[in-house]
Amino acid sequence: MRREARLHSNLTCRLLPGILAFSLFVYYGLPGAARGEPAKTYMGAEACGACHEKEYKNFMAHSKKSHSFKTVAAMKKRLTEGEFQKCFECHTTGYGKPGGFRSESETPHLKDLSCEVCHGPGSKHAETGDPKAIKRRRVGQGSSGFCQEGKG
């Protein structure tokens, strides 16, 4: 009996770190929302423009996709609903992602392509202005300074 009890506690000692590590792994593997943190959502270019006027003006003036939704929507008649939805992947902000574009009526501020296509959802950063809360660039993207030069 005593031997069994000792065996048991030995086993617990050996297993506990593993269990702890696994729990942490599961916890931090969860998206922020599931951990009770407010999830980052998409804001649309205008919200960024409040603090980044230069980038905003460049982007609106030089990127066709900053206002292509109207043109895309005009082509809807010739498309099936499925084909039309496909267009959203490249012509809206955050389509199919949490806090991203859903439809023109529900999320009008995200119906065009915006800053967050490259910089990721910016709600947390826009609240605080903390540069650490936003991606400087999309992973795998060159440092061409797109929004300054206004290309794309």
Return residues touching ligand HEC (CB under 6 A). 43, 45, 47-52, 55-56, 59, 63-65, 68, 71-72, 75, 79, 83, 86-87, 89-91, 114-119, 122, 125-126, 129, 131, 134, 136-137, 141, 143, 145-147, 152
3-class DSSP state of 92: coil
CB of 68 to ligand HEC, least distance (A): 4
CB of 7 to ligand HEC, least distance (A): 54
Q: Enumerate the H helices of the chain as residue ranges.
A: 2-29, 45-49, 53-62, 69-74, 81-91, 116-119, 123-128, 146-149
CA 52 remoteness from chain centre? 19
Longest dimension (CA), the chain: 80
Nearer to ligand HEC, 37 or 127 (CB): 127
Closest CB to ligand HEC among residues 37, 53: 53
Is residue 83 packed enough to be buried (19+ CB in 10 Å), middle (13-18) or exposed (0-12)? exposed
Report in angstroms how near the CB of residue 118 gets to ligand HEC at its nearest.
3
Of 18 and 131, the one with the shorter C-beta distance to ligand HEC is: 131
Judging by beta carbons within 10 Å of its beta carbon (0-12, 13-18, 19+), is residue 49 exposed, middle or buried? middle
Least distance from ligand HEC to the Cβ atom of residue 105, Å = 19
